[in-house]
């Protein structure tokens, strides 16, 4: 039997003391100690630090916490859409007809390389969120700072999270071409919390690369 060949792409942003944070969030703080025989580190960070997953309770303040989200939403076939040319607003028109036959979508906006916060980051509009829900998308990811515009009322988050659609934010899709992949997005199993940093990878059969 031949060896199964697959490419693995790490689309997680590195976490460090200098990682970009959303305004008002606590910055990550890591402190390493040398205990003679071993090293050990203290970690202090926000539940939405770096590449992270939002749980429904994040905006709805009720429902699933991060440890309750079924992993089946976060693992499986997905499609990366390059929406770099869409500009600031990713509308229904931008994604219409591009998500057929898939339940997990990642949006490549061109913001993967941004290391400082900018208020003009690309985000979904309410009509686009409704379109995703209508098409039963169960996981949406984006490489910008939030799925929703900086000045907002929470409607996009609430629309998605209230309809069993997990949200992954602050991905690094800079080296990922548009196409079909398998996503594995694993949050920490933090009991009762509203979100978690996550390690997110994409898998692709070499024959489809």
Let me know: does 59 contact 97? Beta carbons within 8 Å.
no
- Alpha carbons 1 and 153: distance in angstroms, whole number: 55
Cα distances from 200 to residues 35, 50, 124, 128, 205, in angstroms, run 31, 11, 21, 24, 17
Catalytic residue numbers read: 58
- Alpha carbons 159 and 164: distance in angstroms, whole number: 9
């Amino acid at each position: 039997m031949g060896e199964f060949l697959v490419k693995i792409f790490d689309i997680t942003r590195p976490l460090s003391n200098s990682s970009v944070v959303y305004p008002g969030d606590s910055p990550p703080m890591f402190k390493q100690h040398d205990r003679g025989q071993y090293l050990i580190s203290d970690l202090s960070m926000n539940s939405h630090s770096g590449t992270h997953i939002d749980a429904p309770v994040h905006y709805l303040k009720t429902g699933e916490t991060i440890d309750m989200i079924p992993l089946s939403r976060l693992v499986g076939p997905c499609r990366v859409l390059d929406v770099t040319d869409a500009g600031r607003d990713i509308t229904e028109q931008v994604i219409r007809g591009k998500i057929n036959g898939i339940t997990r979508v990642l949006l490549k906006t061109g913001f993967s390389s941004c290391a400082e916060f900018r208020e003009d980051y690309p985000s979904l509009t309410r009509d686009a969120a409704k379109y995703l829900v209508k098409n039963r998308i169960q996981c949406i990811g984006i490489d910008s700072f939030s799925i929703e515009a900086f000045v907002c009322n929470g409607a996009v988050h609430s629309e998605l999270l209230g309809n069993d659609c997990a949200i992954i934010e602050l991905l690094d899709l800079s080296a990922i071409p548009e196409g079909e992949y398998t996503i594995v997005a694993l949050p920490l199993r933090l009991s009762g919390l509203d979100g978690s940093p996550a390690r997110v990878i994409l898998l692709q059969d070499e024959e489809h690369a």
